[in-house]
A and B are shown apart, each in its own frame.
Chain A
Amino acid sequence: MARLGVLIMLFALGPWAHAKEAAPAAEDPALEQRVMALAAELRCLVCQNQSLADSNAPLAVDLRNQVREQMKQGASDRDIVDFMVARYGDFVLFRPPFKSATLLLWFGPLLLLAAGLAALFYRLKRRRAAADVELTEAERERAEKLLAENGTERR
């Protein structure tokens, strides 16, 4: 009985298994998603402010096909990025790589922030120093007198 059940199940599932295998890989949604996710990281060199995923320039279409084909052959995202960089340079990457030539690019904003903070601290310190001026005895008397005069006028 159990054996018959398995047999029926195998027959029932057969067409699906077959359909899946026969589906053209270009319509494989998982693959297509991977292609588009990687293409969004790569610059279209013809229309430079668009990614390969956004662009319909002929070269972008060709490069997307290239990405799809390499993925089908089992290439990792890393392999494909290396393939693109070898041909078009780091410029194809929307996320610049971390290396000596790009140090300023990565740390520039931090440097500017540090410079801004340093300038702010310097100013605040100077202002406080200006507030903490020690008065001489004569100055204090004069200040008190001025304050007292002011006070009487107001009253």
Chain B
Amino acid sequence: MTRYLLPLGIFAALVALLGFGLTLNPREVPSPLIGKPAPQFSLPQLQAVDKTFSPKEMSGRVWILNVWASWCPPCLLEHPVITELARMKIAPVVGLNYKDRPEDAIAWLKRNGDPFQLSASDIAGRIAIDYGVYGVPETYVIDQRGVIRYKRIGPLTPEIVREKVLPLVQELDRG
């Protein structure tokens, strides 16, 4: 009887290990950018092309950068959550419009409402590469010193806002 116990034990351990592996999300790649300064850029604003936006302008305050596109269905799914987040006014929410046609992007905001303080146009997607974006929507929380403190790949949900984003922003605001 005992001679079967060892192989059975090994088998059970293997099943447990592989089972645990199945619960992990392979799309959640830990970002190496957490704790690093947010890459600098200067891009035209979506609704005012003669004006630019640069992360430098936000230094001294906690802010949220949300990468979105009008062609991205999960962005539409996330839109009410971003709208709610912006409405709470805990931190300015800036949009980074990713590889989009400006006219499509503007129409999308008109149709669904514009929660952003402003959106920067990254038509070529070059800035998004610097931010390690590979699946829109993505959201970053950036602190007063311009350091990325949190990154979410994929849509924000009310739970994530409540459990991760809000506590983090409050903690950062305290200093």
Contacts and interface: CB of A to CB of B under 8 A. Distances in A.
B69 to A, nearest CB: 11
Which bucket holds chain A's interface residue count? 10 to 19
A89 B134 contact: no
Interface stretch (B45-53, B85-93, B123-131): B123-131
A63 B31 CA distance: 17
Given A45-B135, A48-B26, A48-B27, A66 B32 contact: no
Interface in A50-82: 58-59, 62-63, 66
A45 B99 contact: no
B134 A59 contact: yes
Contacts of A58: 99, 125
B132 interface: yes
Main secondary structure of the interface of B (DSSP, over half): loop
B33 A46 contact: no
Given A46-B134, A62-B125, A89 B99 contact: no
Contacts of A63: 129
A46 B27 CA distance: 9
A58 B134 CA distance: 10
Nearest to A62: B125
5 contacts: A45-B29, A46-B135, A63-B129, A87-B130, A90-B32
Interface of A: 45-46, 48, 58-59, 62-63, 66, 85-91
